[in-house]
Amino acid sequence: MRLDRFLCELNMGSRSQVRKLVRQGLVTVNGIPAASPEQKIDELSDEIRFRGEKLQYRKFVYYMMNKPQGVVSASRDNAQRTVVSLLGEDAREDIFPAGRLDKDVTGLLLLTNDGELAHRLLSPKMHVDKTYRAVLAHKLSAEDIRRLETGVDIGEERLTLPARVTVLESADADPENAVLLTLHEGKFHQVKRMLQAVDNQVVQLRRIAFGGLRLDPRLAPGAYRALTPEELEILRRSGAERRLPQEDRKSEKNV
């Protein structure tokens, strides 16, 4: 890897800023001032120091974010604020959100540069669970719950896979119709479309769990933190490549 790229990935500055640091002789490679920003280094075995301090390279980074409303789940966007821009100086060029939440949806979002893990977690074959807390326009009837738990028609080729629905008790002073919904798939606007299918509407939506990972309640909207090694391990073990029996239902849309 080129030295200037290495320094950029460690958020030492923009490409032109890190080049300047190298030219000022502030960066050493194995004890010798770097010859040029283009110098090739081995990021795993060479010892790189800045003003004498050893720089530790991290190939992969994993952050849990509490996505706020009004921000798009993208790395870059010409017109709108993105979740990656909220990472501030941790926003390495190669980071992206693993999965999407709609602009108005809040909650747990994983940001990483580990394409392989993200691909696995998002693969429809892996059935990684996602749990949402949804505030609804109306109370769900027992029949609505039965339908959501067996599969509803959201205009796709197949009915949705069975979801798990838990109705949350609301306090007298706060009579919101809140439910927890756990899905084993992740179609576009899926929760909103499932609730529409039972003639209801999502008023507010927050993701609270993703593949065994739970949203840290201490994270304010817009805040993020690195995953702990234990959380990363949980994510790595999330999902399993399996075909659920319901996926074989060809077209039961009219039952």
Residues that are catalytic: 102
- Do 184 and 194 touch, CB atoms closer than 8 A? no
Task: Give how far the C-alpha of residue 157 lies from the chain's centroid of Cα atoms, to the nearest Å.
Answer: 26
74 binds ligand URA per the rule CB under 6 A = no
Q: Which residues contact 196 (CB under 8 A, 6 or more apart)?
A: 154
Cβ at position 158, least distance to ligand URA in Å: 17
- CA 113 – CA 120 distance, rounded (Å): 13
69 binds ligand URA per the rule CB under 6 A = no
Q: Which of 34, 110, 152, 191 binds ligand URA (CB under 6 A)?
A: 191
- Nearer residue to ligand URA within complex by CB, 19 or 130: 130
Pull the structure tokens for residue 166: 């838990």
Cβ at position 193, least distance to ligand URA in Å: 7
- Nearer residue to ligand URA within complex by CB, 41 or 205: 205
Helices within the chain (DSSP H only) = 3-9, 15-23, 115-122, 142-150, 190-197, 229-236
Q: Which of 106, 190, 200, 238 binds ligand URA (CB under 6 A)?
A: 190
- CA 132 – CA 215 distance, rounded (Å): 11
215 binds ligand URA per the rule CB under 6 A = no
165 binds ligand URA per the rule CB under 6 A = no
Q: Which of 61, 31, 26 is nearest to 46 (CA)?
A: 31
User: Where in 86-125 is the site for ligand URA (CB under 6 A)?
Assistant: 101-102, 105
Provide the residue type at 40 as one letter.
K
- Nearer residue to ligand URA within complex by CB, 160 or 190: 190
The Cα-based distances of 121 to 68, 86, 94, 139 in angstroms read 22, 23, 18, 32
Provide the residue type at 166 as one letter.
T
- Nearer residue to ligand URA within complex by CB, 7 or 154: 154
Cβ at position 77, least distance to ligand URA in Å: 16
Cβ at position 180, least distance to ligand URA in Å: 13
Q: Which chain residues interact with ligand URA by CB under 6 A? A: 101-102, 105, 189-192, 205
